[in-house]
Amino acid sequence: MDQREVQREVKREGMPSWLMFLLAVSCGIIVANLYYAQTLVGPISEATGLSAAAAGLIVTITQIGYVIGLLFIVPLSDIVENRKLAVATLAVVVLALLAAASAHTASLFLTASFMIGLGAVVAQILVPYATYLSSAEERGRVVGNVMSGLLLGIMFARPVASFVASFLNWQAVFLMSAVIVALLAFGLFIALPKRQPAPGLNYGRLIASLGTIVKTTPVLRRRALYQAALFGAFSLFWTVIPLHLAKAFGVSQQGIAWFALAGVGGAVAAPIAGRLADRGWSHKLTGIAMLLAALSFLVAFLLPSHSTAALIALVVVAIVLDMAVSGNLVLGQRSIYALGSEARGRLNGLFMSIFFLGGAVGSSVGGWAYAQGGWELASIVGLLLPVLAFLYYLTEKKSESKAAIS
């Protein structure tokens, strides 16, 4: 099917299932590159000569690259043809992955990590791109399905990297990903219809408009802060839980990888939330997501350690927490995509960068809390984040609620 036929099919019938599936798989494959190194910090540090104190830079540098990409590359989708932008950025990811796999020095690997994070924002170009190909009536379903693919990529990345490295080596993880991303770029170039934004701002004015958009868009501010709190709790949990599992339950590294797979079950909430949002449930579901996240940490805090029942309960907690975070993410994105078609790239970049910074704060605070007060203090901090979000949610005015539902 050539691009004109794809465009006609989209215009006639809405988003075709095969294209929705392609975009979902693409987002998952792309965003997974942000998380491969998290479970490989030890062997990478040893191979590149990074000290134990500096090993955390492997993850931090990737996150910095991602945030910069969200602010300075994703907005380009409002002025540059989207397919061309996505494929060109994926080419950068492929080169960065190859550089990471061949790195023998810390400086080269950290530079490659920064470029991997910078290029991985392609996923956040493809998500709003999907909304351009969908009608308003199906927007929630489309965003939910595409985001479920992205979330599966996040959740599978850590255990997949651990398993591949245990059978081969850490370099194989990056080499395999480079091959897969290269094939994906070729497939997207062939399959995606072109999407040329309407002529408008130049790049300088585009970036300058970001501050104005944040200042004048209350729905964006609210949704970004809601998700920042929940993603902060999510990041805190997944930063601390490997330490807690090893210390309290004696779980091995491979066992921790299997535990991480439990979180995959939470991705089921994304398409469900999208469908319910299409029916006008966005506001109610947002509050439910916050309460579920808070309940997860409350249960985790009350659980006794060193028992099989407690370990099983933690698996359930992980699934419920991931459902709350992934569901609220879809609700937030659907709300901001309804604000204006020509600014979706900038809206999405701002939304993602704000809540991603919340995740970075959650990770760092979680590590500090666990070091100072163990699992109990970390759980209390994790509980406070969704509680604060819920208190802020209670101040939402009816007018803002209606805007979020539209």
On whether the CB atoms of residues 37 and 62 are closer than 8 A, the answer is: yes
Summary mean pLDDT of the chain: 82
Radius of gyration of the chain (CA): 20
Helix axes 398-405, 308-337, angle to 10 degrees: 90
The separation between the first and the last C-alpha atoms of the chain, rounded to the nearest angstrom, is: 33
How does pLDDT run across 155-167, given as a tens digit for each residue?
788 788 878 887 8
Say what the pLDDT of residue 12 is: 47
* Distances 291 to 45, 296, 351, 366, 384 between C-alpha atoms, Å: 39, 9, 22, 20, 11
Say what the pLDDT of residue 342 is: 65
How does pLDDT run across 118-137, given as a tens digit for each residue?
999 998 888 878 777 776 66
Give the DSSP letter of residue 53.
Answer: T
Nearest to 127 by CA among 274, 283, 11: 274
- Where are the domains positioned within the chain? 1-200, 204-406
Say what the pLDDT of residue 310 is: 86
Indicate if the alpha-carbon torsion angle 32, 38, 42, 44 is positive or negative: positive
Say what the pLDDT of residue 14 is: 63
Low-confidence ranges of the chain (pLDDT < 50): 11-12, 401-406
The Cα–Cα gap between 190 and 134 comes to 20
Say what the pLDDT of residue 292 is: 93
Tokens of 281: 């449930």
On whether the CB atoms of residues 321 and 266 are closer than 8 A, the answer is: yes
| DSSP codes joined into one string, 78-129 | GTS-HHHHHHHHHHHHHHHHHHHHH--SHHHHHHHHHHHHHHGGGHHHHHHH
Torsions phi, psi for 399 (to 5 deg) = -65, -40
| DSSP codes joined into one string, 327-380 | HHHHHHHHHHHTS-GGGHHHHHHHHHHHHHHHHHHHHHHHHHHHHHHHHHHHHH
Say what the pLDDT of residue 140 is: 67
Say if 1-200 and 204-406 have the same CATH topology.
Answer: yes
**CA 201 from chain center: how many Å?**
28
Q: Which fold has domain 1-200?
A: Growth Hormone; Chain: A; (1.20.1250)
> How many other CB atoms are there within 10 angstroms of residue 56's CB atom?
15
Q: Which fold has domain 204-406?
A: Growth Hormone; Chain: A; (1.20.1250)
Say what the pLDDT of residue 178 is: 96
